[in-house]
Structure 1
Amino acid sequence: MAAFEYAALDARGKRRKGVIEADSSRQVRQQLRDKGWFPVDVEMTQRRQSRSAGLFGGPSVSVADLALLTRQLSTLVASGMPLEECIRAVAEQSERARVRSLMLGVRARVMEGYSLAKALEDFPRAFPPLYRATVDAGEHSGHLDRVMLRLADYMEDQQRTRKQVQMSSIYPAFLTLVAVGIVVFLLNSVVPDIVGVFSSTGEALPGPTRALLAASEWIQSWWLVSCLVIVAMVIALMLWNRAPRRRRITHRVLLRLPLIGRVSRGFNTARFISTVAILSGSGVPLVEAMRISSEVVTNLEIQARVKEAALRVSEGGSLGKALADAGHFRPMMLHMIASGEASGELDSMLQRTADAEDQQVKELIATILGLFEPLMVLLMGGIVLIIVLAIVLPIMEMNSFVG
């Protein structure tokens, strides 16, 4: 039995779409006619998704949906249900047509005799290498339910961290846009009318007033050119970063920046160590776990270094020494990893190391975002002070002349 996606017209002429399991497309059409619907299009899910994979890389799902279906699948597998029935139950439980179609496609492959990990390989955009490798390790170890539960926890934690950073960034970003908008409005509309009165007297203007007039005239005359230059710079940077070799240079520069470099280094090293811990704890060999985990590192400079570390470990070196030679890992992380190797508890120590580093990165991001608001207030206050001085100083000089 396979899954078929259909499009049909009901008795009122309204278009209906969905997924039905049947032995053939002919049976699907008959089921639709029995409901009083006119079938318009019926196609096997596996065939449609394979064609989509060839054009666009296949269907994809959000991290939240993937974490949810993983947790549901782990619960059903732990209950002792057959795997294909577990997948079918997850598909029926989902409210999203894309997820339902995806899971029925996976179920069709499992019913053909493929393992779950092998079935997931047909949908690379929905199930990344980390996910497939972890599932494969769970199947081989016989603890698929526990492995998938751990995988769901990992994905939910990553999603929770991403949302916290996004929510914390909304107010500073809004404050920055408002501040820039106010300054541009003042320099473009208000300042020229007020300061222009003083310049028409022919008297020498104070330095702040002259600087404010120059800034106002520059914005009025060159704002379009400035916007085009900014857009051109962004496009040039995007074109520069298209090549991996040049993008690695950009990432190397980012690592040298004071705050950005610390956040990027902490985020990528914590993500790498946490992924290695999940894969290694699931039964994946350490070298293979390091190779797969390097793909989740977004900074190409750090990614290249951890790949070199994986090569050293494959040649017989210790993990702690290889990561120390790679750089970018804090001494505390290296000491904890070395302690885990010496005590034979590397998996648990890797997870503790990743949790500690991840917590430090979260605290650093929270501190930066917390300081951003008062800094923006001080900056806006300084700009307003300069504008007020530029207006008040000529008035004070005119009053002194009158006196």
Structure 2
Amino acid sequence: MPQSGPPTTDHKTQEFRFKWQGINPTGCLKSGVLIATEMSTARAALKQQKIIPIKIIHQGRAKPAALRPTDITTFSRQLASLLQAGLPLLATLEVMAASHPRAPLSRVTHALARAVAQGQYLSTALADYPQFGPMYCQLVAIGETSSALAPLLAQLAEHREQAAAQQAKLRAALSYPSGVLILSLLITTALMIWVVPTFQQIFESFGAPLPTPTRIVLSLSSAIAHGIAPVTFLIGSGIFIAALGLRRSTVLRTAYDHLRLTLPIIGPLLRQLAIARWTHALGTLLKAGTPLAEAFNSMTRITNNAVFDQATCTILQRVQRGERLAQAMRATGCFPPTVLQPIAIAEESGSLDTMLNDLAMLNEQQVDMRITLLANSAEPLIIIVLGLLIGGLVVAMYLPIIQLGNII
């Protein structure tokens, strides 16, 4: 059997790409690429698929698996269900790896099963995949030491499902009016470029002065027709540069997130959503038995907002100096009194984890109400904007014709 480039296994979690050709059970020649830790593992994987290998070529190290947020939620829910059914951890991971249709998740689950089989804790193996995040690994570690892994995974899956549903509602509430407004602007631009100039030729034949609204529309039409190409290029370049800067610069990302929090209507909604995520994460960690300072170390990027991430670091530093949690939170300016006062009371009574989870539930309910209100108010706003755009354009174009008819 020809082979090329024997893989080196300098790290037990390192994975490699193998290009293969073989014969399937029906006698047809097949080829493909698979990910494995070494050549023998690649052969075993092909044998499990009942493929007789003819050629296997090692193609170097494999790229990291691209896990989606839904993959992590699915992994958590399936793992929790199988563990609650009584299966051992290793057998559960092997079953999930063999049965899941998504190749990246199946690959990661295979790697986790190998690590567990070699004696690693699941939380340690998960740390090799940054998509899971510090909080996820911390809770899994607590579940492993307390023999409560299945309930904690079920709780993680439920929280992720609720957060995804809320995110989908927010996206739908914002995307519908945004899409309609963008479409209306595109239609208006097309009218200004191709339709309005036709009216201008007709108006010139009248030989009479044009009304002010018509002159304004004609001037805008001429400006758009001559400047559409450079303006489109500048806008596209600006969006590309801004997106690149937000991805690579922490300062720009923080400024952008701060700007989003100050926007009318959207800003308070995003702030309340970040507060709900923050309090839920801290409450869950404290309820699981994590010390307060260690809990903050596990909450990096939990809110998907750089302003709150910096606030978390500031709170950690102040708590480590001996400040009370409510006082440290107040110093960041990110939390309203409706959150700070209950937390200060809960610190005195020793029920901080319960209060944080209650605050998270209350803020999530208020976020849902705000999203519903935003979605309901979007329709009349769209009608008003469309009426102003299209109605104003039609009136400006037909006003000279009406005036000419009155003169005749």
Q: TM-score, normalised by structure 2?
A: 0.86
Alignment of 1:4-23 (within 5 A): 7-10=20-23, 11-15=27-31
* Structure 1 partner of 2:273: 267
C-alpha distance in structure 2 between counterparts of 1:61 and 1:177, whole Å:
32
2:290 match: secondary structure: coil
User: Which residue, out of 156, 160, 167, partners 2:165?
Assistant: 160
User: Which residue, out of 216, 222, 232, partners 1:217?
Assistant: 222
Assess, with a 3 A threshold, how the Cα gap between structure 1 residues 37 and 358 changes in structure 2: closer, same or farther: same
C-alpha distance in structure 2 between counterparts of 1:384 and 1:71, whole Å:
50
Assess, with a 3 A threshold, how the Cα gap between structure 1 residues 373 and 269 changes in structure 2: closer, same or farther: same
User: Which residue, out of 212, 226, 232, partners 2:231?
Assistant: 226
Alignment of 1:107-256 (within 5 A): 107-125=113-131, 127-241=132-246, 242-256=248-262
Is residue 206–residue 394 contact of structure 1 (8 Å, CA) maintained in 2? yes
C-alpha distance in structure 2 between counterparts of 1:68 and 1:24, whole Å:
30
Residue 399 of structure 1 and its aligned partner are, at CA, apart by: 3.1
C-alpha distance in structure 2 between counterparts of 1:387 and 1:196, whole Å:
17
1:118-151 Cα offsets, whole Å, 9 max, x none, are 11122233x2222111111211222111111111
Is residue 67–residue 152 contact of structure 1 (8 Å, CA) maintained in 2? yes
User: Which residue, out of 359, 362, 369, partners 1:356?
Assistant: 362
RMSD: 3.0
Tell me which amino acid in the other structure corresponds to 1:41: I
Residue 20 of structure 1 and its aligned partner are, at CA, apart by: 9.0
1:333-392 Cα offsets, whole Å, 9 max, x none, are 222222332332221211111121122223223322322222121111122222232233
Residue 106 of structure 1 and its aligned partner are, at CA, apart by: 0.7
Assess, with a 3 A threshold, how the Cα gap between structure 1 residues 130 and 108 changes in structure 2: closer, same or farther: same
* Structure 1 partner of 2:8: none
2:105 match: secondary structure: helix
1:92-113 Cα offsets, whole Å, 9 max, x none, are 3312232222111111111111
Residue 308 of structure 1 and its aligned partner are, at CA, apart by: 0.7
Q: How many residues align?
A: 391
Is residue 257–residue 305 contact of structure 2 (8 Å, CA) maintained in 1? yes
1:41 match: secondary structure: strand
Is residue 4–residue 25 contact of structure 1 (8 Å, CA) maintained in 2? no
Assess, with a 3 A threshold, how the Cα gap between structure 1 residues 26 and 68 changes in structure 2: closer, same or farther: closer
User: Which residue, out of 41, 56, 72, partners 2:56?
Assistant: 41
Assess, with a 3 A threshold, how the Cα gap between structure 1 residues 189 and 20 changes in structure 2: closer, same or farther: closer
The more displaced of 239-248 and 260-269 is 239-248
Is residue 35–residue 42 contact of structure 2 (8 Å, CA) maintained in 1? no
Residue 24 of structure 1 and its aligned partner are, at CA, apart by: 4.2
Q: Which has the higher helix share?
A: 1
The more displaced of 242-251 and 113-122 is 242-251
1:284-324 Cα offsets, whole Å, 9 max, x none, are 21122123214223322222122111221222222222112
Tell me which amino acid in the other structure corresponds to 1:206: P
* Structure 2 partner of 1:387: 393
Is residue 4–residue 42 contact of structure 1 (8 Å, CA) maintained in 2? no
* Structure 1 partner of 2:283: 277
Residue 210 of structure 1 and its aligned partner are, at CA, apart by: 0.2
Residue 81 of structure 1 and its aligned partner are, at CA, apart by: 3.0
Assess, with a 3 A threshold, how the Cα gap between structure 1 residues 109 and 374 changes in structure 2: closer, same or farther: same
* Structure 2 partner of 1:346: 352
2:298 match: secondary structure: helix
Tell me which amino acid in the other structure corresponds to 1:184: T
Assess, with a 3 A threshold, how the Cα gap between structure 1 residues 267 and 316 changes in structure 2: closer, same or farther: same
Assess, with a 3 A threshold, how the Cα gap between structure 1 residues 207 and 323 changes in structure 2: closer, same or farther: same
Assess, with a 3 A threshold, how the Cα gap between structure 1 residues 313 and 39 changes in structure 2: closer, same or farther: farther
What percentage of residue pairs aligned between the two structures are identical? 26
Tell me which amino acid in the other structure corresponds to 2:75: L
C-alpha distance in structure 2 between counterparts of 1:334 and 1:231, whole Å:
43
Is residue 43–residue 53 contact of structure 2 (8 Å, CA) maintained in 1? no
* Structure 1 partner of 2:323: 317
C-alpha distance in structure 1 between counterparts of 2:389 and 2:46, whole Å:
73
Alignment of 1:290-301 (within 5 A): 290-301=296-307
Is residue 130–residue 292 contact of structure 1 (8 Å, CA) maintained in 2? yes
Assess, with a 3 A threshold, how the Cα gap between structure 1 residues 111 and 42 changes in structure 2: closer, same or farther: farther
Tell me which amino acid in the other structure corresponds to 2:31: R
Tell me which amino acid in the other structure corresponds to 2:387: G
1:217-240 Cα offsets, whole Å, 9 max, x none, are 112111111111212322343354
C-alpha distance in structure 1 between counterparts of 2:277 and 2:208, whole Å:
63
User: Which residue, out of 296, 308, 321, partners 2:314?
Assistant: 308
Does structure 1 residue 288 correspond to structure 2 residue 294? yes
C-alpha distance in structure 2 between counterparts of 1:282 and 1:60, whole Å:
29
Is residue 151–residue 278 contact of structure 1 (8 Å, CA) maintained in 2? no
1:138 match: secondary structure: helix
Is residue 32–residue 38 contact of structure 1 (8 Å, CA) maintained in 2? no
2:301 match: secondary structure: helix
Assess, with a 3 A threshold, how the Cα gap between structure 1 residues 203 and 136 changes in structure 2: closer, same or farther: same
Gaps of 5+ in 2: 1-11
